[in-house]
Structure 1
Amino acid sequence: MSLKKNLHSLSEKLESLTPAEGLAFLSDLFRGKVVFSTSLGQEDQVITQMIASNFLPINIFSLDTGRLFPETLDLIARTESKYNTKIKVLYPERDSVENLVHKQGINGFYDSVENRKSCCHVRKVEPLKRALLGNSVWVTGLRAEQSANRSEMNKIEWDESNQIIKFNPLLDWTYIQMMEYIEKKNIPYNPLHDKGFTSIGCAPCTRAILPGEDARAGRWWWEDSKKECGLHAK
């Protein structure tokens, strides 16, 4: 049976499991074929803790776009040290980045949504596809509360673009629920979160949000869009 046809039965099974139990179930069912993409956000740190503390056979990777905050890079080292685990870091292809910068300039992503999406594609989407290739399940830290677009997602769904099962274990968690878990488990997180950066991506494309703003308002703050880079397109 194809991976896609397994979704309904998997969904029924996962409905009764906690996020940690769901991760354990899938990592056992698809042993060696489950990967977790972390951007080092608070949600992702929760999932990393669940994977590492339960010694689950899930490979953790992160995408270094070349434009990340120093605090984000430092958090990779702190997380690896705390949980005695390795986070595989993937980089965009050198020629693709050089061609992109030659074509649109070092900060050309500010000029148009099309340019910004081209930058995201080179620096994030292409490396992600490399990381997911050959795997069966892609674990993410998406939460429905984060945006209107993400509120329409399911805990487990089919990612057509990457031909892979996508598992969002924290999809129905609230921000308060997440922060209580982080405090209880003493999970390290990016200090920028305490400065109003609710969603942290590349440094030139991220700002702190203002009171009352949507959690994703600080991402690509100069444009009016769905605030997605293409990794989680619906």
Structure 2
Amino acid sequence: MSVPGRPASAIALYARETPGHAQRVDGALRLLREAAAQHAGRIVQATSLGAEDMVVTDLIARHALPIDLATLDTGMLHPETLALLPVIAQHYGRTVAVFRPDPVAADRFVQLHGDAPMRQSIALRKACCALRKLEPLERLLDGRSAWVTGLRREQSQARGEVAPRGADDRGREKLNPLADWSWADVWHYIQRHAVPFNPLHDAYMPSIGCAPCTRAIAVGEDFRAGRWWWEDEAAKECGLHVPASASPLPATPTGAPA
């Protein structure tokens, strides 16, 4: 039982070995191995540094798979999130490439819309996501034929149809090795293999994004209730993992270069 005012232990709260866990681990590893061989030198894990992505990183590093690691530093992440970068380097001996938004465009956007544009409208929040996530992601994926994510079907209704293998809007293969994993699976793996993780998960933040857009969830709330909690549930995607046709993002965010 958690003590009021003190962080919980995410492992104690969530880690459970469920039937078929070993088979799901084997399936994820098999998928990663096949993709690494098929896309030799052209595959990258785009990690958010959340619990799921740390599991994927562990699978890649533990089995010495030739898959590069990269992340997006939006300029608004929690310090606890960024602190995982040197931890990964020390724990796994692997460097995570960091991609950031264009500083001139980011400064111009803040000058035009202030420090909290995401609270003004959904359109401005999505424009902020486009500037800080989507444009850097395109640079992260430049020259790649495949990328790996930590998406799971259980995360949200919008992700309920996530397949282990698919394609993005640019025709790159998109691998989701944890697609059929449960939250209990994720934390059982973390516990069993001593995987480093963001301490904010111990503070009731299962889904962690930018600091202004993330809060702790209460008992009984949806997994992603702490993301953009002031918005309608249907709007809760930044555009990284939805088709361009389904996202109301402007082609060029206001204040960003064309």
Asked whether the two chains share a fold, i.e. TM above 0.5, the reply is yes
Query: What aligned pairs does 1:63-78 form with structure 2 within 5 A after superposition?
Result: 63-78=72-87
Write the deviation string for residues 179-217 of structure 1: whole angstroms up to 9, x where unpaired.
111100000101110110010000010000111111111
Q: What is residue 6 of structure 1 aligned with on the other side?
A: none
1:143–1:173 Cα contact (<8 Å) kept: yes
Post-superposition, which runs of at least 4 consecutive aligned residues in structure 1 deviate over 2 A?
none
TM-score, reference length from structure 2:
0.82
Q: Give identity over the alignment, percent.
A: 46
- In the alignment of these two chains, the number of paired residues is 219
1:109 Cα offset (Å): 1.4
Q: What is residue 142 of structure 1 aligned with on the other side?
A: 151
1:149–1:226 Cα contact (<8 Å) kept: no
Paired residue type of 1:78? V
Structure 2 residue 185 is matched with structure 1 residue 182: no
3-state SS, counterpart of residue 231 of structure 1: coil
Q: What is residue 3 of structure 1 aligned with on the other side?
A: none
3-state SS, counterpart of residue 69 of structure 2: strand
2:151–2:162 Cα contact (<8 Å) kept: no
Paired residue type of 1:97? A
> What are the ranges of 5 or more consecutive residues in structure 2 without an aligned counterpart?
1-23, 244-258
> What are the ranges of 5 or more consecutive residues in structure 1 without an aligned counterpart?
1-14
1:163 Cα offset (Å): 2.7
Q: What is residue 203 of structure 2 aligned with on the other side?
A: 195
In the alignment, the residues of structure 1 paired with residue 154 and residue 148 of structure 2 have an alpha-carbon distance, to the nearest angstrom, of: 18
3-state SS, counterpart of residue 18 of structure 1: helix
In the alignment, the residues of structure 2 paired with residue 232 and residue 35 of structure 1 have an alpha-carbon distance, to the nearest angstrom, of: 16
Structure 2 residue 92 is matched with structure 1 residue 83: yes
Paired residue type of 1:193? H
Q: What is residue 56 of structure 2 aligned with on the other side?
A: 47
| Higher RCO (CA < 8 A, seq sep 6+) | 2
Q: What is residue 240 of structure 2 aligned with on the other side?
A: 231
1:20 Cα offset (Å): 1.2
In the alignment, the residues of structure 2 paired with residue 133 and residue 73 of structure 1 have an alpha-carbon distance, to the nearest angstrom, of: 23
Write the deviation string for residues 131-189 of structure 1: whole angstroms up to 9, x where unpaired.
112111110000111000101221111111x3311110000001111111110000010
In the alignment, the residues of structure 2 paired with residue 217 and residue 65 of structure 1 have an alpha-carbon distance, to the nearest angstrom, of: 21
Write the deviation string for residues 88-138 of structure 1: whole angstroms up to 9, x where unpaired.
011101121012112211111110000000000000000001111211111
Paired residue type of 1:152? E
Aligned-residue Cα RMSD (Å) equals 1.4
Paired residue type of 1:140? T
In the alignment, the residues of structure 2 paired with residue 109 and residue 24 of structure 1 have an alpha-carbon distance, to the nearest angstrom, of: 39
In the alignment, the residues of structure 2 paired with residue 66 and residue 114 of structure 1 have an alpha-carbon distance, to the nearest angstrom, of: 20
Paired residue type of 1:70? P
1:77 Cα offset (Å): 1.3
1:47 Cα offset (Å): 0.5
Q: What is residue 217 of structure 1 aligned with on the other side?
A: 225
1:47–1:141 Cα contact (<8 Å) kept: yes
Paired residue type of 2:31? G
Q: What is residue 9 of structure 1 aligned with on the other side?
A: none
In the alignment, the residues of structure 2 paired with residue 55 and residue 72 of structure 1 have an alpha-carbon distance, to the nearest angstrom, of: 24
Q: What is residue 105 of structure 1 aligned with on the other side?
A: 114
Paired residue type of 1:214? D
Q: What is residue 167 of structure 1 aligned with on the other side?
A: 175
